[in-house]
Amino acid sequence: MTVTETQRAIEAVFRIESPRLIAGLARIVRDVGVAEELAQDALVIALEKWPEAGVPDHPGAWLMATAKHRAFDRLRRNKLLERKHAELGRELEAEPATPDPSAALDDDVGDDLLRLIFIACHPVLSSEGRVALTLRLLGGLTTEEIAHAFLVSEATIAQRIVRAKRTLAEARVAFELPRGTDRAARLSSVLEVVYLVFNEGYSATAGDDWMRPALCEDALRLGRILAGLVPGEPEVHGLVALMEIQASRSAARSGPAGEPVLLLDQDRGRWDHLLIRRGLGALARAQALGGALGPYALQAAIAACHARAPSAAETDWKQLAGLYETLAAVAPSPIVELNRAVAVAMAFGPAAGLEIVDALRSEGALDGYHLLPSVRGDLLVKLGRVAEARAEFEGAAALTRNARERALLLERATRAAQAP
Protein backbone atom coordinates (compact mmCIF):
# COMPACT_ATOMS: atom_id res chain seq x y z
CA MET A 1 0.00 0.00 0.00
CA THR A 2 1.43 3.38 -1.03
CA VAL A 3 1.73 6.31 1.38
CA THR A 4 -1.19 8.05 -0.35
CA GLU A 5 -3.35 4.92 -0.13
CA THR A 6 -2.45 4.54 3.54
CA GLN A 7 -3.40 8.15 4.23
CA ARG A 8 -6.74 7.65 2.51
CA ALA A 9 -7.33 4.49 4.54
CA ILE A 10 -6.50 6.37 7.75
CA GLU A 11 -8.91 9.17 6.87
CA ALA A 12 -11.66 6.64 6.07
CA VAL A 13 -11.07 4.76 9.33
CA PHE A 14 -11.09 8.00 11.30
CA ARG A 15 -14.38 9.15 9.77
CA ILE A 16 -15.98 5.86 10.81
CA GLU A 17 -14.40 5.66 14.25
CA SER A 18 -14.35 9.33 15.31
CA PRO A 19 -17.86 9.41 16.85
CA ARG A 20 -17.01 6.44 19.10
CA LEU A 21 -13.59 7.90 19.92
CA ILE A 22 -15.04 11.28 20.88
CA ALA A 23 -17.88 9.65 22.83
CA GLY A 24 -15.52 7.45 24.86
CA LEU A 25 -13.06 10.27 25.49
CA ALA A 26 -15.78 12.72 26.49
CA ARG A 27 -16.85 10.32 29.22
CA ILE A 28 -13.28 10.47 30.58
CA VAL A 29 -12.50 14.20 30.25
CA ARG A 30 -16.10 15.49 30.54
CA ASP A 31 -15.60 18.02 27.75
CA VAL A 32 -16.58 17.39 24.12
CA GLY A 33 -14.17 20.04 22.85
CA VAL A 34 -11.20 18.44 24.60
CA ALA A 35 -12.40 14.99 23.50
CA GLU A 36 -12.42 16.09 19.87
CA GLU A 37 -8.90 17.53 20.21
CA LEU A 38 -7.65 14.25 21.68
CA ALA A 39 -9.24 12.28 18.85
CA GLN A 40 -7.55 14.59 16.35
CA ASP A 41 -4.23 14.07 18.15
CA ALA A 42 -4.65 10.32 17.72
CA LEU A 43 -5.30 10.86 14.00
CA VAL A 44 -2.10 12.91 13.64
CA ILE A 45 -0.09 10.14 15.34
CA ALA A 46 -1.68 7.55 13.04
CA LEU A 47 -0.77 9.65 10.00
CA GLU A 48 2.84 9.68 11.25
CA LYS A 49 3.16 5.99 12.17
CA TRP A 50 0.84 3.94 9.96
CA PRO A 51 2.47 4.74 6.60
CA GLU A 52 5.63 3.01 7.90
CA ALA A 53 4.21 0.40 10.27
CA GLY A 54 1.05 -0.33 8.29
CA VAL A 55 -2.60 -0.05 9.30
CA PRO A 56 -3.15 -2.18 12.44
CA ASP A 57 -5.57 -5.08 12.44
CA HIS A 58 -7.89 -3.20 14.80
CA PRO A 59 -7.45 0.47 13.87
CA GLY A 60 -10.33 1.71 16.03
CA ALA A 61 -8.83 0.07 19.11
CA TRP A 62 -5.39 1.51 18.29
CA LEU A 63 -6.81 5.02 17.95
CA MET A 64 -8.77 4.71 21.20
CA ALA A 65 -5.75 3.48 23.17
CA THR A 66 -3.57 6.23 21.71
CA ALA A 67 -6.15 8.91 22.47
CA LYS A 68 -6.53 7.63 26.05
CA HIS A 69 -2.81 7.93 26.60
CA ARG A 70 -2.94 11.49 25.27
CA ALA A 71 -5.79 12.17 27.68
CA PHE A 72 -3.65 10.87 30.54
CA ASP A 73 -0.75 13.10 29.51
CA ARG A 74 -3.03 16.12 29.25
CA LEU A 75 -4.59 15.60 32.66
CA ARG A 76 -1.19 15.08 34.28
CA ARG A 77 0.37 18.08 32.54
CA ASN A 78 -2.42 20.47 33.47
CA LYS A 79 -2.97 18.99 36.94
CA LEU A 80 -6.70 18.95 36.29
CA LEU A 81 -9.39 16.61 37.56
CA GLU A 82 -7.18 14.76 40.04
CA ARG A 83 -9.71 12.02 40.69
CA LYS A 84 -10.15 11.34 37.00
CA HIS A 85 -6.38 11.45 36.59
CA ALA A 86 -5.98 8.66 39.13
CA GLU A 87 -8.80 6.59 37.66
CA LEU A 88 -7.42 6.93 34.15
CA GLY A 89 -3.91 6.11 35.35
CA ARG A 90 -5.09 2.83 36.91
CA GLU A 91 -7.01 2.00 33.75
CA LEU A 92 -4.03 2.61 31.49
CA GLU A 93 -1.56 0.75 33.73
CA ALA A 94 -3.79 -2.30 33.45
CA GLU A 95 -3.72 -2.20 29.64
CA PRO A 96 -1.12 -4.29 27.73
CA ALA A 97 1.38 -2.50 25.51
CA THR A 98 -0.46 -3.83 22.47
CA PRO A 99 -4.07 -3.23 23.42
CA ASP A 100 -6.68 -5.91 23.07
CA PRO A 101 -9.40 -4.57 20.75
CA SER A 102 -12.22 -5.56 23.07
CA ALA A 103 -10.53 -3.71 25.95
CA ALA A 104 -9.60 -0.58 24.02
CA LEU A 105 -13.09 -0.18 22.60
CA ASP A 106 -15.15 0.20 25.74
CA ASP A 107 -17.99 -2.19 26.44
CA ASP A 108 -20.39 0.69 26.98
CA VAL A 109 -19.63 2.34 23.63
CA GLY A 110 -23.37 2.35 22.92
CA ASP A 111 -24.05 4.36 26.06
CA ASP A 112 -21.17 6.68 25.25
CA LEU A 113 -22.54 7.35 21.77
CA LEU A 114 -25.99 7.99 23.18
CA ARG A 115 -24.54 10.40 25.74
CA LEU A 116 -22.71 12.24 22.97
CA ILE A 117 -25.89 12.50 20.89
CA PHE A 118 -27.75 13.99 23.85
CA ILE A 119 -24.88 16.44 24.48
CA ALA A 120 -24.55 17.58 20.85
CA CYS A 121 -28.32 18.14 20.64
CA HIS A 122 -28.70 19.74 24.06
CA PRO A 123 -31.54 22.32 24.21
CA VAL A 124 -29.18 24.88 25.75
CA LEU A 125 -27.65 25.25 22.27
CA SER A 126 -29.17 27.16 19.37
CA SER A 127 -30.76 25.12 16.59
CA GLU A 128 -27.91 26.04 14.22
CA GLY A 129 -25.34 25.13 16.87
CA ARG A 130 -26.93 21.75 17.53
CA VAL A 131 -26.98 20.89 13.82
CA ALA A 132 -23.37 21.93 13.22
CA LEU A 133 -22.04 20.18 16.33
CA THR A 134 -23.98 16.99 15.59
CA LEU A 135 -22.67 16.77 12.03
CA ARG A 136 -19.14 17.50 13.27
CA LEU A 137 -19.00 15.09 16.22
CA LEU A 138 -21.38 12.34 15.10
CA GLY A 139 -21.51 12.72 11.34
CA GLY A 140 -17.74 12.93 11.05
CA LEU A 141 -18.03 15.85 8.61
CA THR A 142 -15.32 18.46 8.36
CA THR A 143 -16.08 22.14 8.87
CA GLU A 144 -15.64 22.62 5.12
CA GLU A 145 -18.15 19.87 4.33
CA ILE A 146 -20.77 21.27 6.71
CA ALA A 147 -20.29 24.76 5.30
CA HIS A 148 -20.71 23.46 1.76
CA ALA A 149 -23.86 21.55 2.69
CA PHE A 150 -25.53 24.61 4.21
CA LEU A 151 -24.14 27.16 1.74
CA VAL A 152 -22.42 29.28 4.37
CA SER A 153 -18.77 30.14 4.96
CA GLU A 154 -16.37 27.86 6.81
CA ALA A 155 -15.80 30.69 9.28
CA THR A 156 -19.51 30.78 10.09
CA ILE A 157 -19.67 27.02 10.75
CA ALA A 158 -16.44 27.15 12.77
CA GLN A 159 -17.90 29.93 14.91
CA ARG A 160 -21.10 27.94 15.48
CA ILE A 161 -19.15 24.89 16.59
CA VAL A 162 -16.82 26.87 18.87
CA ARG A 163 -19.77 28.75 20.36
CA ALA A 164 -21.66 25.49 20.94
CA LYS A 165 -18.71 23.89 22.74
CA ARG A 166 -18.21 26.99 24.85
CA THR A 167 -21.91 27.08 25.75
CA LEU A 168 -21.83 23.43 26.85
CA ALA A 169 -18.76 24.08 29.00
CA GLU A 170 -20.17 27.25 30.56
CA ALA A 171 -23.50 25.56 31.28
CA ARG A 172 -21.61 22.66 32.90
CA VAL A 173 -23.73 20.17 30.96
CA ALA A 174 -23.15 16.77 32.54
CA PHE A 175 -21.91 13.97 30.30
CA GLU A 176 -24.61 11.55 31.37
CA LEU A 177 -27.80 10.01 30.08
CA PRO A 178 -30.84 12.11 30.98
CA ARG A 179 -33.53 10.48 33.08
CA GLY A 180 -37.27 10.83 33.61
CA THR A 181 -39.04 13.84 32.16
CA ASP A 182 -35.72 15.41 31.19
CA ARG A 183 -35.01 12.44 28.92
CA ALA A 184 -38.23 12.99 26.94
CA ALA A 185 -37.43 16.67 26.41
CA ARG A 186 -33.84 15.93 25.45
CA LEU A 187 -34.88 13.13 23.07
CA SER A 188 -37.30 15.52 21.39
CA SER A 189 -34.38 17.90 20.79
CA VAL A 190 -32.31 15.07 19.29
CA LEU A 191 -35.10 14.06 16.91
CA GLU A 192 -35.62 17.68 15.91
CA VAL A 193 -31.95 18.05 14.98
CA VAL A 194 -31.86 14.85 12.94
CA TYR A 195 -35.01 15.85 11.04
CA LEU A 196 -33.69 19.38 10.46
CA VAL A 197 -30.61 17.86 8.80
CA PHE A 198 -32.77 15.53 6.72
CA ASN A 199 -35.14 18.29 5.60
CA GLU A 200 -32.29 20.56 4.52
CA GLY A 201 -31.08 17.74 2.31
CA TYR A 202 -34.55 16.78 1.07
CA SER A 203 -35.71 20.30 0.16
CA ALA A 204 -32.79 22.72 0.19
CA THR A 205 -33.86 26.10 1.49
CA ALA A 206 -31.35 28.01 -0.63
CA GLY A 207 -28.89 27.64 -3.48
CA ASP A 208 -29.03 26.13 -6.95
CA ASP A 209 -29.83 22.52 -6.03
CA TRP A 210 -33.29 21.15 -5.32
CA MET A 211 -31.86 18.46 -3.04
CA ARG A 212 -28.61 17.70 -1.17
CA PRO A 213 -28.69 13.88 -0.89
CA ALA A 214 -25.58 13.66 1.31
CA LEU A 215 -27.40 15.43 4.14
CA CYS A 216 -30.34 13.03 3.82
CA GLU A 217 -27.91 10.12 4.08
CA ASP A 218 -26.23 11.63 7.17
CA ALA A 219 -29.59 12.11 8.87
CA LEU A 220 -30.73 8.59 8.00
CA ARG A 221 -27.52 7.12 9.38
CA LEU A 222 -27.90 9.09 12.62
CA GLY A 223 -31.54 8.03 12.89
CA ARG A 224 -30.71 4.37 12.39
CA ILE A 225 -27.92 4.56 14.99
CA LEU A 226 -30.32 6.19 17.43
CA ALA A 227 -32.96 3.52 16.82
CA GLY A 228 -30.37 0.87 17.64
CA LEU A 229 -29.35 2.66 20.84
CA VAL A 230 -32.89 3.29 22.14
CA PRO A 231 -35.00 0.54 20.52
CA GLY A 232 -37.85 1.04 23.00
CA GLU A 233 -38.57 4.66 21.96
CA PRO A 234 -41.47 4.64 19.46
CA GLU A 235 -40.91 8.17 18.15
CA VAL A 236 -37.34 7.29 17.15
CA HIS A 237 -38.72 4.52 14.95
CA GLY A 238 -41.39 6.95 13.74
CA LEU A 239 -38.74 9.42 12.62
CA VAL A 240 -36.69 6.72 10.92
CA ALA A 241 -39.84 5.50 9.14
CA LEU A 242 -40.63 9.03 7.96
CA MET A 243 -37.12 9.62 6.62
CA GLU A 244 -36.87 6.19 4.94
CA ILE A 245 -40.15 6.66 3.08
CA GLN A 246 -39.45 10.25 2.10
CA ALA A 247 -35.94 9.32 0.94
CA SER A 248 -37.45 6.59 -1.22
CA ARG A 249 -38.77 9.30 -3.57
CA SER A 250 -35.41 11.00 -4.11
CA ALA A 251 -34.70 9.68 -7.60
CA ALA A 252 -38.15 10.74 -8.81
CA ARG A 253 -38.05 14.25 -7.31
CA SER A 254 -35.83 15.71 -10.04
CA GLY A 255 -36.12 15.74 -13.81
CA PRO A 256 -33.33 15.25 -16.38
CA ALA A 257 -32.06 18.82 -15.96
CA GLY A 258 -32.33 18.76 -12.18
CA GLU A 259 -35.67 20.54 -12.16
CA PRO A 260 -38.09 19.74 -9.30
CA VAL A 261 -40.81 17.16 -9.88
CA LEU A 262 -43.67 17.48 -7.41
CA LEU A 263 -45.19 14.48 -5.63
CA LEU A 264 -48.33 14.16 -7.77
CA ASP A 265 -46.25 14.26 -10.98
CA GLN A 266 -43.57 11.76 -9.96
CA ASP A 267 -42.91 8.45 -11.72
CA ARG A 268 -43.60 6.07 -8.85
CA GLY A 269 -41.70 3.35 -10.65
CA ARG A 270 -38.56 5.28 -9.72
CA TRP A 271 -39.30 5.18 -6.01
CA ASP A 272 -36.92 3.01 -3.99
CA HIS A 273 -39.07 0.13 -2.78
CA LEU A 274 -36.38 -1.21 -0.45
CA LEU A 275 -36.45 2.08 1.45
CA ILE A 276 -40.25 1.96 1.46
CA ARG A 277 -40.21 -1.53 2.98
CA ARG A 278 -37.70 -0.42 5.59
CA GLY A 279 -39.82 2.60 6.37
CA LEU A 280 -43.00 0.56 6.70
CA GLY A 281 -41.15 -1.84 9.01
CA ALA A 282 -39.96 1.04 11.21
CA LEU A 283 -43.50 2.44 11.29
CA ALA A 284 -44.84 -0.95 12.39
CA ARG A 285 -42.29 -0.99 15.22
CA ALA A 286 -43.33 2.49 16.34
CA GLN A 287 -46.99 1.48 16.34
CA ALA A 288 -46.29 -1.80 18.16
CA LEU A 289 -44.57 0.20 20.91
CA GLY A 290 -47.70 2.30 21.37
CA GLY A 291 -46.44 5.29 19.41
CA ALA A 292 -49.05 5.46 16.66
CA LEU A 293 -50.08 8.98 17.71
CA GLY A 294 -46.57 10.42 18.03
CA PRO A 295 -45.91 13.39 15.70
CA TYR A 296 -43.20 11.60 13.71
CA ALA A 297 -45.15 8.34 13.55
CA LEU A 298 -48.20 10.23 12.28
CA GLN A 299 -46.11 11.94 9.60
CA ALA A 300 -44.68 8.53 8.70
CA ALA A 301 -48.22 7.15 8.40
CA ILE A 302 -49.01 10.01 6.01
CA ALA A 303 -45.91 9.22 3.96
CA ALA A 304 -46.86 5.52 4.01
CA CYS A 305 -50.31 6.35 2.64
CA HIS A 306 -48.64 7.93 -0.39
CA ALA A 307 -46.13 5.08 -0.68
CA ARG A 308 -48.84 2.40 -0.76
CA ALA A 309 -50.81 4.11 -3.55
CA PRO A 310 -49.92 2.86 -7.05
CA SER A 311 -50.67 6.32 -8.46
CA ALA A 312 -51.63 9.79 -7.29
CA ALA A 313 -55.20 9.20 -8.44
CA GLU A 314 -55.46 6.06 -6.30
CA THR A 315 -54.27 7.79 -3.12
CA ASP A 316 -56.71 7.59 -0.22
CA TRP A 317 -57.05 11.35 0.21
CA LYS A 318 -59.82 11.06 2.79
CA GLN A 319 -57.56 8.96 4.98
CA LEU A 320 -54.79 11.51 4.50
CA ALA A 321 -57.10 14.37 5.48
CA GLY A 322 -58.01 12.42 8.63
CA LEU A 323 -54.36 11.77 9.47
CA TYR A 324 -53.53 15.46 9.06
CA GLU A 325 -56.47 16.35 11.29
CA THR A 326 -55.09 14.02 13.97
CA LEU A 327 -51.59 15.43 13.53
CA ALA A 328 -52.96 18.97 13.86
CA ALA A 329 -54.52 17.98 17.19
CA VAL A 330 -51.32 16.29 18.47
CA ALA A 331 -48.77 18.81 17.16
CA PRO A 332 -50.62 21.91 15.95
CA SER A 333 -48.75 24.13 13.52
CA PRO A 334 -49.67 26.32 10.54
CA ILE A 335 -47.56 24.14 8.23
CA VAL A 336 -49.54 21.06 9.25
CA GLU A 337 -52.72 23.03 8.51
CA LEU A 338 -51.36 23.97 5.08
CA ASN A 339 -50.69 20.32 4.30
CA ARG A 340 -54.15 19.42 5.59
CA ALA A 341 -55.60 21.97 3.19
CA VAL A 342 -53.99 20.13 0.25
CA ALA A 343 -55.38 16.77 1.40
CA VAL A 344 -58.83 18.25 2.03
CA ALA A 345 -58.80 19.83 -1.44
CA MET A 346 -57.95 16.48 -3.04
CA ALA A 347 -60.59 14.65 -1.00
CA PHE A 348 -63.44 17.17 -0.98
CA GLY A 349 -62.67 19.71 -3.71
CA PRO A 350 -60.47 22.81 -4.13
CA ALA A 351 -62.99 25.19 -2.56
CA ALA A 352 -62.79 23.28 0.74
CA GLY A 353 -59.01 23.45 0.69
CA LEU A 354 -58.99 27.13 -0.25
CA GLU A 355 -61.12 27.93 2.79
CA ILE A 356 -58.39 26.52 5.07
CA VAL A 357 -55.63 28.33 3.17
CA ASP A 358 -57.44 31.67 3.35
CA ALA A 359 -57.92 31.23 7.09
CA LEU A 360 -54.17 30.64 7.43
CA ARG A 361 -53.42 33.75 5.39
CA SER A 362 -55.69 35.88 7.56
CA GLU A 363 -53.90 34.63 10.69
CA GLY A 364 -50.53 35.76 9.28
CA ALA A 365 -48.54 32.89 10.81
CA LEU A 366 -47.11 31.89 7.43
CA ASP A 367 -46.32 35.36 6.11
CA GLY A 368 -43.13 35.06 4.08
CA TYR A 369 -43.49 31.28 3.64
CA HIS A 370 -43.46 30.63 -0.09
CA LEU A 371 -45.53 27.45 -0.03
CA LEU A 372 -48.64 29.28 1.19
CA PRO A 373 -49.09 31.29 -2.04
CA SER A 374 -47.89 28.27 -4.03
CA VAL A 375 -50.66 26.06 -2.61
CA ARG A 376 -53.19 28.86 -2.99
CA GLY A 377 -52.15 29.24 -6.63
CA ASP A 378 -52.75 25.53 -7.27
CA LEU A 379 -56.23 25.70 -5.79
CA LEU A 380 -57.11 28.86 -7.71
CA VAL A 381 -56.08 27.19 -11.00
CA LYS A 382 -58.45 24.32 -10.25
CA LEU A 383 -61.22 26.83 -9.56
CA GLY A 384 -60.55 28.61 -12.86
CA ARG A 385 -59.31 31.81 -11.21
CA VAL A 386 -56.14 31.88 -13.32
CA ALA A 387 -55.27 35.58 -13.05
CA GLU A 388 -55.24 35.33 -9.26
CA ALA A 389 -53.29 32.07 -9.50
CA ARG A 390 -50.57 33.71 -11.61
CA ALA A 391 -50.10 36.43 -9.00
CA GLU A 392 -49.81 33.82 -6.25
CA PHE A 393 -47.15 31.83 -8.11
CA GLU A 394 -45.16 34.98 -8.84
CA GLY A 395 -45.41 35.97 -5.18
CA ALA A 396 -44.21 32.50 -4.13
CA ALA A 397 -41.26 32.71 -6.55
CA ALA A 398 -40.20 36.00 -4.99
CA LEU A 399 -40.18 34.44 -1.52
CA THR A 400 -38.18 31.25 -2.12
CA ARG A 401 -34.36 31.29 -1.87
CA ASN A 402 -33.94 28.09 -3.91
CA ALA A 403 -33.15 28.75 -7.57
CA ARG A 404 -34.70 25.50 -8.85
CA GLU A 405 -37.93 26.09 -6.97
CA ARG A 406 -38.09 29.70 -8.14
CA ALA A 407 -37.83 28.59 -11.76
CA LEU A 408 -40.62 26.03 -11.27
CA LEU A 409 -42.93 28.60 -9.67
CA LEU A 410 -42.34 31.13 -12.45
CA GLU A 411 -43.07 28.40 -15.01
CA ARG A 412 -46.36 27.66 -13.25
CA ALA A 413 -47.19 31.37 -13.27
CA THR A 414 -46.64 31.42 -17.04
CA ARG A 415 -48.83 28.35 -17.54
CA ALA A 416 -51.57 29.93 -15.43
CA ALA A 417 -51.43 33.06 -17.58
CA GLN A 418 -51.82 30.96 -20.73
CA ALA A 419 -54.77 28.97 -19.39
CA PRO A 420 -58.10 29.65 -21.14
pLDDT digits (tens, 9 = 90+) for 338-352: 999 999 999 999 999
Q: Are the C-beta atoms of 255 and 266 separated by less than 8 Å?
A: no
Cα-based distances in Å from 15 to 40, 81, 296, 308: 11, 29, 29, 37
> What pLDDT score was predicted for residue 279?
97
> What pLDDT was estimated at residue 79?
57
Given a cut of 70, the residues of the chain with pLDDT beneath it are 1, 3, 75-110, 204-211, 420
The domain ranges of the chain are: 3-103
Distance from C-alpha of 289 to C-alpha of 237, rounded to nearest angstrom: 9
Query: Does pTM top 0.95 for this prediction?
Result: no
CA distance 37 to 420: 65
pLDDT of 207 reads 59
Q: State residue 99's pLDDT score.
A: 44
- Please report the pLDDT score of residue 102 as a whole number: 40
The pLDDT value recorded for residue 94 is 53
